[in-house]
Amino acid sequence: MAVVAALTIVTSCHTPKEDTVHTPIEADGVLSLAVGTYTPGNMVIAGERYGYLHEIVEHFAGSKTLGISLSEKVPVQTLIEGLADGTIEVAALPATLTESYFPTLTAEPYMEAKYVIIGRKGEHSTITSDEALTRLLADKDILVDASLTDSRLYDRLLDENPDARFHTSSVSGYYTPCALSNDEWDLAICQHTDAAVAMAVRNNLNSIYTFEEQEVMTLVFANAEAAEQFRRWKREFERTAEHASLAYLYNEHGLIGDIAALRRSATRVVDGISIWDDLLRRVSESEGVDWRLLSAIAYAESRFTSDIVSKQGAVGLMQVMPSVARQFNVTSEQLANPETNITVSAKLLKKIDHTLGFASDTTPYDRMAIVLAAYNGGVGRIGQARRLVASEGGNPDSWESVSQTLRLMADPNYIASKGGSVRRFGGSGQTLAYVAQVIGRYNIYCEAVK
């Protein structure tokens, strides 16, 4: 027996390879991607994932209707083991590491990272010559992004600037230049997109020098045929408008515009979802409801605004009605407290789940969707829809069946056909849209933050 291309698929050595071996991404419909420690091209901004690496892999997976299983900040040793045993199908890391650790596997470049020197505004002028660079770095404490430290560029900097004091950052991304707010460092060196994010977040930073050398970032494939698929796809993708839009997003105004908008928001944060993340995590631990689901609800209900009251009287982040809060012995005054507000919402979700009485084999998706529908449209309305589904031989724990019935409940002709036994639900469209919005945002948050 022979193991083919280090995959989990084992075939007979007498069996033609092309007849029996499928690429791993075709085997289970999910592309397992592991991002090496400090590999640039991936960041979280206000709960949304950004970065050229993320974008390019999503486009590739989308072209093959694949899902993505993402692991981040993975040590090289774990990459070696995962690519060997098939638990990792693709790894992202700098070409210098690829050459050192994966010489026998197929690698494809996906981006060229430009690096820049960042300083505090007013302290240094922009420079362009090598002589000025040497003078700039002399006798300075320079924080270097960890993604650069295995590169040829970093080796050159060490050789040519003996009077500079280079320090490797313990983190990567926009955190490296942001560390300049600490007077311990004079300058920082980081990837240019991370620098753009840092300068958009911090008003006191500016770019001083851009290195001509570019560090190649690669995708390493456990399976050579999968690598060839990526190579062919990338060749075609680079001719499309989508690729041009990525170049705009990451090299021109697009990303900066997004970050500038984020700075104007009092509730959103970089590398998280909102200013309420810690509080939501705390409630999640005490109530057993995923904090990212609570975040998705808070976004849909209030855009993370804690001090608003709707025309109907719904209060705060999760837009909880005082009548609902009283079910949990919480007064209207107490409901204005953000932690109390979130806790009541979490308890209400759990109560709805218990009240609806799902069968043990109900899928997590169906359960979540039906609970959210009841959270928005009322347990009575959703309960009636489920009873109608059951009366017609359907599965009342199927969101597909329940959502179809909710649509019918908005139709006067359908209501008339039931002879007055069914109440019309004119807001069913709003409830269906709410469920789709919350689940869609929850999925985004699950991919972006842990």
Phi, psi of 212 (to 5 degrees): -70, -35
Better-predicted residue by pLDDT, 24 or 403: 403
pLDDT 10s digits, 25-73:
655 677 889 999 888 877 777 677 777 888 888 889 888 877 788 888 8
Phi, psi of 147 (to 5 degrees): -70, -15
CATH of 2-111+217-251, one of 2.60.40.1660, 3.10.560.10, 3.40.190.10, 1.10.3720.10: 3.40.190.10
Phi, psi of 14 (to 5 degrees): -95, -5
Which distant-in-sequence residues (6+ apart) come within 8 Å of 306 by Cβ?
Answer: 276, 316, 317, 338, 341
Tokens representing 401? Answer: 């069946």
Q: Is the dihedral of CA 257, 261, 262, 264 positive or negative?
A: positive
Other Cβ atoms within 10 Å of 277 Cβ, number: 17
In the prediction, which pLDDT does 17 show?
30
- Which residue, among 375, 439, 431, 440, has the nearest Cα to 403 in the 3D structure? 431
- Which residue, among 432, 389, 425, has the nearest Cα to 410 in the 3D structure? 425
Which distant-in-sequence residues (6+ apart) come within 8 Å of 334 by Cβ?
Answer: 325, 340
**Kind of pairing between the strands at 187-191 and 106-120:** antiparallel
DSSP per-residue string spanning 17-46: HHHH---HHHHHSEEEEEEETT-SS-EEET
Average pLDDT over residues 348-374: 95
pLDDT 10s digits, 127-140:
989 899 999 999 99
Find the length of the chain: 450
The CATH code that applies to domain 113-215 is 3.40.190.10
**Kind of pairing between the strands at 106-120 and 205-221:** antiparallel
Helix (H, G, I), strand (E, B) or coil at 212: strand
287 pLDDT above the threshold of 90: yes
Other Cβ atoms within 10 Å of 10 Cβ, number: 11
In the prediction, which pLDDT does 259 show?
62
Contact 224, 5 (CB under 8 A): yes
The domain locations on the chain are 2-111+217-251, 113-215, 357-450
Residues 284 and 276: their CA atoms lie apart, in Å, by 12
Phi-psi sector, 189: left (phi>0), alpha (psi -120 to 50), beta: beta
Better-predicted residue by pLDDT, 46 or 421: 421
pLDDT 10s digits, 221-270:
999 988 999 999 999 998 887 787 777 667 655 566 566 555 556 677 77
Residues 412 and 112: their CA atoms lie apart, in Å, by 59
**Whole-model pTM over 0.85:** no
* Angle (deg, nearest 10), helices 241-251 and 254-263: 50
Mean per-residue pLDDT over the chain, rounded: 85
Contact 157, 117 (CB under 8 A): no
Contact 255, 50 (CB under 8 A): yes
312 pLDDT above the threshold of 70: yes
Helix (H, G, I), strand (E, B) or coil at 92: strand
In the prediction, which pLDDT does 266 show?
67
pLDDT 10s digits, 380-416:
999 999 999 999 999 999 999 999 999 899 888 888 8
Q: Is the dihedral of CA 328, 332, 333, 336 positive or negative?
A: positive
In the prediction, which pLDDT does 231 show?
94
Q: Is the dihedral of CA 22, 27, 29, 30 positive or negative?
A: negative
Contact 117, 205 (CB under 8 A): no
Helices (H), 223-321: 224-237, 241-251, 254-263, 277-287, 291-302
Q: What pairs with residue 92 in β-bridges?
A: 35, 219
End-to-end CA distance of the chain: 40
In the prediction, which pLDDT does 4 show?
26
Provide the Cα torsion 258, 259, 264, 267; round to 10°.
Answer: 100
Phi-psi sector, 18: left (phi>0), alpha (psi -120 to 50), beta: alpha
Better-predicted residue by pLDDT, 8 or 310: 310
Average pLDDT over residues 14-20: 31
Which distant-in-sequence residues (6+ apart) come within 8 Å of 339 by Cβ?
Answer: 279, 282, 283
pLDDT 10s digits, 330-349:
999 999 999 999 999 999 99
Distances in Å between the Cα of 67 and the Cα atoms of 88, 352, 443 are 14, 31, 12
Helix (H, G, I), strand (E, B) or coil at 270: strand
Phi, psi of 113 (to 5 degrees): -90, 125
In the prediction, which pLDDT does 30 show?
78
| DSSP state letter for 9 | -
Q: For tokens 């922009």, what's the residue?
A: 126
16 pLDDT above the threshold of 60: no
In the prediction, which pLDDT does 9 show?
22
Q: Do domains 2-111+217-251 and 113-215 have the same CATH topology?
A: yes
Average pLDDT over residues 109-124: 91
Residues 450 and 430: their CA atoms lie apart, in Å, by 30
Q: For tokens 């689901």, what's the residue?
A: 293
